[in-house]
Structure 1
Amino acid sequence: MLQVKEHKGVMFGLLADTDRLNATIAPDVKADLTSALSNKGVRMVLNLSNISFIDSTGIGTLISALKTARQNGGSFQLCCPKAEVLSLLKLMKLDMVFDIFDSEEQIA
């Protein structure tokens, strides 16, 4: 489900084989993210470029990942959200909570 690659000390995650982050897949995604972010100081960026729909369970999964990262001295950021996903994040004021980048190249 979650594909991870590492580049210059940053882990880049991508949800493969789906365009939705919803109650159906959220438990598996949450488990994968929690596992990846449980180590000290992990910096992860989740690429949302292929996600066109997120429900409340999916939002909860993203918030849980951010909390896990912070508890372990790491960071969890988002990049490449489609317009509809970004609109939802802004509506929920989560753009004030998450660092959201337009592209992976912006992340240093």
Structure 2
Amino acid sequence: MDTLLKVTRENNKITGTLVDTDRLNATIATGVKEQLNKNFDDSEICFTLNLQNIKFIDSTGIGVLISALKTARQHNGEFYLTNVNKEVMDLLALMKLDKVFDFK
């Protein structure tokens, strides 16, 4: 599997950036979900997902974000989104998910 998520780690703070794509959709969702969830093996991880490159997200991609948030909470961690493009933020707001996710 290609690396879809570039990760930098400093103690329990992790920043991940989706690379080589401008879409978070069904085509890459399974791989991204696996790579995100691997980072929550330890408890109390603070993970920030940088979406600066993402211009399109579908329902499967939304499911990946919700899954990561749920996994983080199960491990007493935190999950943030950052650098969310306007179109993606508009979709999150339409689905009322702007009230569910935390943003940096």
Bin for the TM-score computed over the shorter chain: over 0.9
Number of residue equivalences: 101
- 1:2-21 mapped onto 2 (5 Å cutoff): 2-7=5-10, 9-21=12-24
Identity %: 54
1:62 aligns with 2:65: yes
Tell me the residue number matched to 2:101: 98
How far, CA to CA, are the matches of 2:99 and 2:93 in structure 1?
8
* Residue segments in structure 2 that go unaligned for 5+ positions in a row: none
On the 8 A contact 1:41/1:72 being kept in 2, the answer is yes
TM-score, normalised by the number of residues in structure 1: 0.89
Q: How much does 1:9 deviate?
A: 4.0
Q: Give 4+ residue runs of structure 1 displaced > 2 Å after superposition.
A: 6-9
How far, CA to CA, are the matches of 1:55 and 1:4 in structure 2?
23
Q: How much does 1:37 deviate?
A: 1.6
TM-score, normalised by the number of residues in structure 2: 0.93
Q: How much does 1:32 deviate?
A: 0.4
1:49 aligns with 2:52: yes
C-alpha RMSD of the superposition:
1.1
1:66 alignment partner, SS class? helix
How far, CA to CA, are the matches of 1:68 and 1:8 in structure 2?
19
